[in-house]
Structure 1
Amino acid sequence: MRYIRSAVLAVIAIFLITIALANRGPMTLRLMPEPLQALFGIDWEVTLPVFVILVIAVAVGVFLGFVWEWVREHKHRAAATTERRQRQELEKQVRATAPREKGGDDILALVEKS
């Protein structure tokens, strides 16, 4: 299994390196279009290789997907927490009411008690 995982990771690494080498050209990202830059006086821009922009875009997309799912599944986590607390409370009540005879049969102890 370890060899299969290593092989898959190697293939992914080769694929990513190939994409990076094929997309080395520079690309300029601007915060706003040029007419709006002149209007607002904001002329922020950065020039990066295309593969860096692709990696950043994928990382931001994955992060947003994780956050979206975490928020979406909040109700399930809250329900699980509530159920766990109820189960622990019920177990505590059962332990408090259970017969405390050592070495005896629990069912016989219940029958004798009634």
Structure 2
Amino acid sequence: MKTIRYAFWAIVALCLILIGLANRDPVTVRAMPVWLSDLLGLSPDVTLPLFVVIFIGVGAGLAIGFLWEWLREYRIRADGRAKSREVAALRQELQQMRIASVGAKSEDDVLALLEKTR
């Protein structure tokens, strides 16, 4: 199983390296259209290799997706915590009932033995 995992990650690494080598050309990433930057007098743009832009986009998409799922599953986690607390309380109650029944049973057994000897 470990070999398959290592082979998978090696293939993923090879694909990422190939994507990086094929997309080395610099591109300019602009935060706003040219006409708006000319109007405002500021030009927030950066020049990066294309593969960096691709990897940042994929990473941002994954981060947004994970955050969205984490927020969406809040109710499920809250229900799980409530059920866990309920199970813990029921186990505690069952343990107390077992202790009480063992104590009562031993007293009844002793009383039963004493009554038989009379």
TM-score, scaled to structure 1: 0.84
1:33 aligns to 2:33 (yes or no): yes
Question: Letter of the aligned partner of 1:80 in structure 2?
Answer: G
Q: CA separation in 2, counterparts of 1:99 and 1:89?
A: 15
Amino acid at match of 2:16: L
User: Which ranges in structure 1 are unaligned for 5 or more consecutive residues?
Assistant: none
Give the residue type in structure 1 aligned to 2:23: N
Identify the residue that residue 19 of structure 1 maps to in structure 2. Answer: 19
Q: Which runs of 4+ in 1 moved over 3 A?
A: 99-102
- After superposition, the CA RMSD in angstroms is 2.2
Answer 1 or 2: which has greater helix percent.
2
C-alpha separation between the residues in 1 aligned to 2:8 and 2:88?
43
TM-score, normalization: structure 2? 0.81
Unaligned 5+ runs, structure 2: 110-118
Q: How many residues align?
A: 107
2:74 corresponds to 1:92? no
Q: Distance in 1 between matches of 2:41 and 2:48?
A: 23
Identity over aligned pairs, percent:
39
Question: Bigger CA drift: 26-35 or 36-45?
Answer: 36-45
